[in-house]
Structure 1
Amino acid sequence: MTRDNFEEYEDPALYDKENGHYLTELPFLLKWASKTKGTILDIACGTGRLTIPLAQKGYRLAGVDIHRRMLKEAKRKSEGEDLNIDWIEQDCTKLHVNVRSHLIYSVGNSFQHFLTNEAQDGLLSSINEHLETDGIFIFGTRFPSAEELLQPSAEEYWRTYTDDDWKVDLSTISHYDALNQIQHYTTIRRYKNSHGEIAEEKRTKISLRYVFPKEMERLLYANGFEIVEMYEDWSETPVTNDSTEMIYVCKKVRSI
C-alpha cells in the first residue's frame, strides 16, 4: 500500500461504520489459529477489524499497518481490554518486526493495494522472512472476472446505509487499466436528510491491482510458498470461473 492511495482510509470511524460489522473471515481464521502457537501476524490490519476479535479469543496478535490514523483507531478500540496485541506502524513491503510466526494473514482484499510487481514481491518476501518453515500465510483477493473488470465507466449504485440521522447512498465509478491490471475506483457518498434531500456529497479515490489465478500461482511459488488450499469464499467453497473472490492458504516451503 502506498501513501498516495489512502483516501478511503483517512476517516477510520467511517471505515468502521461501513465495514466493522463484517466478520465473515473470523471462523476460518479461528480454525487455523487453533492449529498454531505463538504470535499471529495481521498484515495491513487497519482498525483491527479481525485483530481484536482473534485476541479476544485468547490469541496473541501483532497488527501491522502503514496508516497511522487506522492504527490509532485500532489502539483506541482495544484500550481497556486485557488483550495481547502489539500495534506496529510499518510498510509491509519492508517488514521488520521481532517475530517469527507460524501464522500470518491479510484480509479485506488488502493484497490488492500492492500495485506493482515490486510491491507484491516486497510484501511476499517480507512475509516469507517472518514465517517459520511450514508456516501458513492466508489472504484473500478479488477474482479478476470479466464482470468485475469490465464495468461501465458510468456511475453505478452500490448500496445504502444509515449513519445517525443521515441516509447514505454509495455509488462507484470505475476504470480498468488493462496494461497495469489496476482498477481505478471513485466512491461517491451522498448524505440525505429525512426529506431525502442531498445535504453533502463526498468523493474518494482508490486503485486496486488484480492478479489472475495462474499468475498468482507463479508469484507465490517464486516467493517460497506452496498453495495448500484455494476457495471462493471464507466458507471454503471451491473456486470456479464464476467466483468473485480467491481465498488462499499457503505454506512456506523455502526461504528466499
Structure 2
Amino acid sequence: MTMIEHNNLEEYQDPVNYDLEFGGEEDKYQFYLELARSNPGEVLELACGTGLTTIPLAKAGIKMTGVDISSAMLAHARLKAEGLPVTFIESDARTFESDKRFAMIYLTGNAFQAFLSDQDQIGLLATVHKHLQPGGIFAFETRNPKGTELADEEETGWGSFIDKDGNNVKVSGTQCYDASRQIMHWVTIRDWGNKRTTSRISCRFTDQDVLRSLLTRQGFRIEHQYADWHKTPFTPTASSIISVCRK
C-alpha cells in the first residue's frame, strides 16, 4: 500500500508475514475480478503491496500492472507472480507516469485512506484520471467515518494469525483520532511469543459527501457505491464505502 507519512511504511517491512496476516480475502478478489471482466483491457492496481489482489486477477488471465512505493513488498510480489501476465513498478501513486492507458484502475486494502491531505488525494486522483482510458473504471474502498468507532482506545485485542514459522501471533493495538485532520493514528502490537513488535500507521477518514464532491471535481462519475463485496447498497451507517466510478 502506498503511504504518505514515513511512519506508515513500518507496516510493510515483512511481506511474507504480511500476506499470512492479511491474505485470503476471496470475496474482495472476486469483486475486482468481475469488475475487470466487465470492462475488458489492461488493469492497473495502485498501492498493490505484495500483489494480494493483483495476482488472483493475473491468474484469471487479466493483464495487470501493479504499482507500489515499497521495494520490499514488490520484491515478494514479483516472486509470487513469476510467469503471470503482470508487471510490478516501484513508484509513488501521486506521481506515477506511464504511456499506457488502462481500462480499469483500482486501489484496495483501504489504500485511499493513506493519502492524508487534500493535496495527496488530488494528486492520486489526477494520476488515475490521466492513466484511464475514456470511459474507464476507477474503483476503491474506504472505511466510512459514520460507520466506524473513532474514539481513542487503549490497547485492545484485534485477533491473531499463524506466521511463516508456524507460531500463533497475537495482534492488538491502540488508536488515537485527530478530528481536526480526520486522521486516525493506530499503533499495532504483535506478540510473537518470544518478542513484541510495534508499528504505526495513519489513515484519513473522508465522509461520503466529501468523497462524492472530490470525485466529481476530479472528473469521475460515481456509478455505484456498495457497503460490502457482495454489492449490498451503501447506507450512511455502513462500515465501508466501496465506490465504482467512470471517467
Per the TM superposition, whether the score is higher than 0.5 is: yes
Q: Assess, with a 3 A threshold, how the Cα gap between structure 1 residues 233 and 168 changes in structure 2: closer, same or farther.
A: same
Q: How does 1:202-217 map to 2 (within 5 A)?
A: 202-217=197-212
Partner of 1:71: 74
Higher CA-based Rg: 1
Which residue of 31, 36, 39 maps to 2:39? 36
> CA-to-partner distance for each residue in 1:143-162, whole Å, 9 max, x for gaps?
11264212x43111111223
- 1:84 matched to 2:79? The reply is no
Q: How does 1:137-148 map to 2 (within 5 A)?
A: 137-145=138-146, 147-148=148-149
Rounded Cα–Cα distance in structure 2 between residues aligned with 1:146 and 1:38: 35
- 1:235 matched to 2:238? The reply is no
Deviation at 1:30, TM superposition (A): 1.8
Rounded Cα–Cα distance in structure 2 between residues aligned with 1:162 and 1:36: 37
Percentage of pairs with the same residue: 40
Secondary structure, counterpart of 2:44 in structure 1: strand
Partner of 2:170: 169
- Verify the 8 A CA contact 1:39 1:99 in the aligned structure 2: no
Rounded Cα–Cα distance in structure 1 between residues aligned with 2:211 and 2:19: 30
Q: Assess, with a 3 A threshold, how the Cα gap between structure 1 residues 157 and 78 changes in structure 2: closer, same or farther.
A: same
Deviation at 1:127, TM superposition (A): 0.2
Rounded Cα–Cα distance in structure 1 between residues aligned with 2:121 and 2:160: 33
- Verify the 8 A CA contact 2:160 2:171 in the aligned structure 1: yes
Partner of 1:2: 4
- Verify the 8 A CA contact 1:183 1:207 in the aligned structure 2: yes
Partner of 1:247: 242
Aligned length: 243
Secondary structure, counterpart of 1:58 in structure 2: coil
- Verify the 8 A CA contact 2:182 2:206 in the aligned structure 1: yes
TM-score calculated relative to the size of structure 2? 0.94
Note the aligned Cα RMSD (angstroms): 1.3
TM-score calculated relative to the size of structure 1? 0.91
